[in-house]
Chains A and B, each alone.
Chain A
């Protein structure tokens, strides 16, 4: 986890790719052996949620079977052990994204909650009428709506960096939009609907020159790319457990320590306090200040297990393998008459949005489902992206480390069936 690359490097990846074996990795995921209507499951909806390796499932079971206790309280053995496991998971997340210290990791429900936390605890007290929050056209709704809410609360204004026809950020426009009133920039590392890998390092460097903090929504990046928040230099980075083969209901917010330390709490309750009287409450230290109430202990420990698993495989190898699979998928789809790709950025992750002739994506999805193929159809919680391309929906195949070229062949055959059913 020492690489600072924000995009996979095919030149090094191609030699290492040989050491990543997707067939072997598939055996780690029990759900991949099941069938759908008698056909092998072809799971291509990983940007929605990823499947779970046995080791994560076992870790969660073991926690509830033999380790369950509340944390940070109680002197009994179970509580001490559960606390240690929970804090070890925090350290694993810190290591996974190269944070300087574990206290910079706050456990949250989801990347969505991480962004809401920053919007309310960091931005809200610092925003005033006429200030600006800068996001991009390709954001997921979870990186739009929390900012709209805080803008409404403070009188600040939401500004949006446009994208070009390939689905890439218009960096010149970004430069211009980043002004003296900009108080925070929030940008996706990888677009969930287009697959675009944004030049976050450059985005952060430009913002830094003006002293503007940056939140990176890394929900889609964490399962696919090595992440180094110190090399990136961002103030905040949000990840989601379930999208990186971990449990749902757990995510993490990275915040640089000095920034977190200066922030207001997010929610009030137990755990986030040092002392409470009716006159005055003293808040706990970072990160506990932001973790009110009993957290998702099993989820955090499960997230730790998924990080161990990904470390074993090596994210640089995964990234290189997925680039090859993306090329194969792009070629396969291009060979089918009537298929049109939406999102053709030069730097792309293995997320492929497309249309099949003028057939509605939901019809495509239903027919593919009959072949055992799970894809997402719809607006992908990114309606502004759809509006940008004049669409209401696309079909999206989003790949993960356990997908194979033969599964992409099944997708290709499924799309030919779609065309056949519709007589195109």
Chain B
């Protein structure tokens, strides 16, 4: 059970049970759709930008516990961050879940550390990163659906 409890940490299970920021805002300034053809899951990420600052980030869609928690925790941690900070955070998160040593220092992963167990489940890395790729597409204002394949 140790690897399993490493993957399904209480924080992840909690965000899966009650996802934060799962809503469609009235007027988002950016949005993008993500699709994982492997499981058929879809996610939409909404961003409200104030200049270079992410005023609000939310999502819609449903997926596995890892992808739902990844979306929930991501949206929580990004409010008030700059676009550049969001990109740096994604890079560090990507390293964390793929088992690539992330190194210390800024930006702080905070709650995102809960996804450290994902690196031992290569088939699940895409579940954790789909919402981030979708966020990047929204920030780049790309209209096409982001696919994990």
Contact = CB atoms under 8 A, between A and B. Distances in A.
A210 B109 CA distance: 67
Contacts of A370: 1, 3-4
B8 A377 contact: no
Interface stretch (B34-42, B49-57, B85-93, B138-146): B34-42
Contact of A393 (B13, B39, B66, B121): B39
Interface in A21-38: none
B124 interface: yes
Given A366-B121, A392-B41, A421 B64 contact: no
A353 to B, nearest CB: 14
A423 B13 contact: yes
Interface string A125-153: 00000000000000000000000000000
B124 A366 contact: yes
Given A366-B121, A370-B4, A423-B13, A360 B40 contact: no
Given A366-B123, A367-B4, A422 B39 contact: no
A260 interface: no
Given A366-B121, A370-B4, A359 B65 contact: yes
Contacts of A383: 40
B40 to A, nearest CB: 4
A203 to B, nearest CB: 29
B64 A422 contact: no
A175 interface: no
A377 B121 CA distance: 15
B78 interface: no
A392 B7 contact: no
A362 B64 contact: yes
A247 B127 CA distance: 32
B65 A360 contact: yes
Given A366-B123, A370-B3, A378 B8 contact: no
A361 B39 contact: yes
Nearest to A359: B65
Contact of A421 (B8, B39, B63): B8
Interface string B1-17: 10111011000010000
Interface of B: 1, 3-5, 7-8, 13, 38-42, 63-66, 68, 121, 123-124, 127
5 contacts: A360-B68, A366-B121, A366-B123, A417-B1, A422-B13
Interface of A: 359-363, 366-367, 370, 377-379, 383, 386, 392-393, 417, 421-423
Q: Top 3 closest A-B pairs, CB basis?
A: A360-B64, A392-B40, A362-B64
Given A359-B65, A367-B8, 4 more contacts: A361-B39, A362-B64, A379-B39, A392-B42
